[in-house]
């Protein structure tokens, strides 16, 4: 646990002076620590199921550390093996596919994904294709986030955080990267002139978004008001 706290502290305090090589090392240390801690805890849970709370705390700390590390690394070009390792060893094992095929991730991962919506240089990470365990179906990270708008296990507050993230994608202008990360599997964007990449990413998820907004409308006789953020999303 102290490892993840130290990583977060380094990323937060030393971010202005870290070189690209040091940022790369920090990301890879975080990746290795997250993988080793998850595997170790999963092995322990077989014989000691009461440790599930500790596993959840480790997951929270790992996601918090990744959030800080991705933020500090936004101006360096990730290598394909880094992104692919993060996808395969960190995201995929935590992704749950329900009987109806809808995907879901733990809330700490959801918060990590939503942090990318405020950093235009990390928008492309939301297009990462997450395969199911069977490998027959893939969902983009953003698609998973939007699918959780329909989840009964996700609180109203968290769903509004998702709306905030989508609003950021619809609002923030693109920032040019020095070059694309090659050899990673990204969802294709619709090619519509004049749209920022965030809006292009949200468009395929519009049906899920509309269902959530319509289900949130006050019914006749209710005193609650229409959510203005929902209107703003529709306007954009």
- What is the pLDDT at residue 195? 86
Report which listed range, 47-61, 95-109, 174-188, is most confident: 95-109
- State mean pLDDT over 55-60: 84
pLDDT value, residue 178: 52
pTM of the complete model: 0.90
The pLDDT tens digits for 171-210 are 998 876 655 577 899 998 888 888 889 999 999 999 999 9
Q: How far is CA 141 from CA 23, 183, 218, 231, in A?
A: 23, 17, 30, 24
Lowest-confidence region among 61-65, 107-111, 201-205, 213-217:
213-217
Percent of the chain with pLDDT over 70: 92
**pLDDT at position 168 over 90:** yes
Is the CB of residue 79 less than 8 Å from the CB of residue 67?
no
Rounded CA gap, 23 and 36, in Å?
A: 20
DSSP label at 154? S
Alpha helix (H) residue ranges in 14-155: 20-47, 52-72, 80-85, 107-116, 141-147
pLDDT digits (tens, 9 = 90+) for 117-130: 999 999 999 999 99
- Residue 212, SS3 per DSSP: helix
Q: Is pLDDT of 45 > 70?
A: no
Mean pLDDT computed over 18-46: 88
Banded pLDDT at 96 (limits 50, 70, 90): confident
Residue 44 pLDDT exceeds 90: no
Q: What's the whole-number mean pLDDT along residues 70-94?
A: 93
In Å, how far are 39, 50, 51, 146, 147 from 46, measured between CA atoms?
A: 11, 10, 10, 33, 30
**DSSP element (H, E) containing 104:** strand 103-104
């Amino acid at each position: 646990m102290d490892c993840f706290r130290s990583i977060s502290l380094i990323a937060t305090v030393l971010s202005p002076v870290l070189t690209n090589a040091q940022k790369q090392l920090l990301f890879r240390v975080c990746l290795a620590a997250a993988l080793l801690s998850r595997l170790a805890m999963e092995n322990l849970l077989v014989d000691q199921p009461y440790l599930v709370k500790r596993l959840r705390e480790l997951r929270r700390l790992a996601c918090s550390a990744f959030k800080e590390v991705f933020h500090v690394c936004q101006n360096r070009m990730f290598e394909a093996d880094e992104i692919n390792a993060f996808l395969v060893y960190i995201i995929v094992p935590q992704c749950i596919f329900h009987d109806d095929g809808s995907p879901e991730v733990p809330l700490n991962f959801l918060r990590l994904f939503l942090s990318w919506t405020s950093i235009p240089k990390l928008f492309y990470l939301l297009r990462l294709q997450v395969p199911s365990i069977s490998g027959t179906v893939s969902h983009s990270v953003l698609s998973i986030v939007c699918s959780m708008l329909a989840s009964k296990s996700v609180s109203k507050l968290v769903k509004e955080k998702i709306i905030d993230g989508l609003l950021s994608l619809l609002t923030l202008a693109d920032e040019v990267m020095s070059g694309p990360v090659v050899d990673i599997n990204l969802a294709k964007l619709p090619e519509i002139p004049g749209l920022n990449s965030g809006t292009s990413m949200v468009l395929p998820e519009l049906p899920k978004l509309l269902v959530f907004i319509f289900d949130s409308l006050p019914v006749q006789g209710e005193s609650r008001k229409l959510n203005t953020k929902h209107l703003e999303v529709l306007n954009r």
